[in-house]
Chain A
Amino acid sequence: ETGVTQSPTHLIKTRGQQVTLRCSSQSGHNTVSWYQQALGQGPQFIFQYYREEENGRGNFPPRFSGLQFPNYSSELNVNALELDDSALYLCASSLTGYEQYFGPGTRLTVT
């Protein structure tokens, strides 16, 4: 077990709503990354935070946003949910330059 936790485990939302997913990093890790894993696909990078600032972003629209807090926990916010946002959302924490450790994910279903 990695020590990275995510909440909630499952979530069902309707199209157009907003959602906030939470991640608690492994102790001592200063970098958090978020990924989207659609069914049958590999994880796709959304963005990364280092010391409370976004320092990298993948090919996701601005309605995907995030925060990192001083204790290195993090949030992923998605506005104006679309059906295609249904996926497993993964949080990964790391020390800069080292391997990433993944949490169990939040399964988001948009109806």
Chain B
Amino acid sequence: AQSVSQHNHHVILSEAASLELGCNYSYGGTVNLFWYVQYPGQHLQLLLKYFSGDPLVKGIKGFEAEFIKSKFSFNLRKPSVQWSDTAEYFCAVKPLTGFQKLVFGTGTRLLVSP
């Protein structure tokens, strides 16, 4: 069965610090990869996605992620976080075979202090 691991459950950073959130998945075939963000009181929003091509993908609000196929990883990065980045971040995987089931990690709660 497919699974997604997010290594950090809670991260606390000061504004302007750099961010890296880890995500590893287990699945032998080809996948699409996603990062979703859930701001307090808001719905899940797509931050960025990887379907194919350049393994370094850029998303909204200055976020980027790198797909490393050999490590089954899709880590999320941002060079300088802002207080408004306080949210919960979810990594998700969708196998390309079968139906469009998203498998989510358990999420990382990020708190950015001003």
Taking Cβ atoms with an 8 Å cutoff, the residues of A that contact B are 2, 31, 33, 35, 40-45, 48, 50, 55-56, 58, 90, 92, 94, 96-97, 99-105
B34 and A44 contact, CB distance less than 8 A: no
Give every chain B residue within 8 A of A99 (Cβ-Cβ).
32, 34, 46, 49
Q: Pick out which of these stretches binds chain A: B13-21, B64-72, B75-83, B95-103.
A: B95-103
A42 and B106 contact, CB distance less than 8 A: yes
Instruction: Report the Cα distance A104→B102, complex, angstroms.
Output: 17
Nearest 10 CB-CB pairs, A to B?
A: A42-B104, A56-B99, A102-B44, A104-B43, A45-B101, A42-B106, A43-B104, A55-B99, A42-B107, A102-B43
B105 is contacted by which of A40, A42, A55, A100 (Cβ under 8 Å)? Answer: A42
Least CB distance, B51 to chain A, in whole angstroms: 9
B100 is contacted by which of A33, A44, A103 (Cβ under 8 Å)? Answer: A33
Interface centre among A31, A41, A55, A99, by most B CB within 10 Å? A99
Give every chain B residue within 8 A of A101 (Cβ-Cβ).
46
- CB nearest neighbor in A for B1: A59
Number of chain B residues close to chain A: CB under 8 A = 22
A41 and B107 contact, CB distance less than 8 A: yes
B101 is contacted by which of A48, A97, A102 (Cβ under 8 Å)? Answer: A48
Interface centre among B43, B98, B104, B105, by most A CB within 10 Å? B43
A43 and B90 contact, CB distance less than 8 A: yes
B99 and A48 contact, CB distance less than 8 A: yes
Least CB distance, B28 to chain A, in whole angstroms: 19
Q: A56-B98, A99-B49 are in contact. Are A45 and B43 (CB under 8 A)?
A: no
Least CB distance, A95 to chain B, in whole angstroms: 10
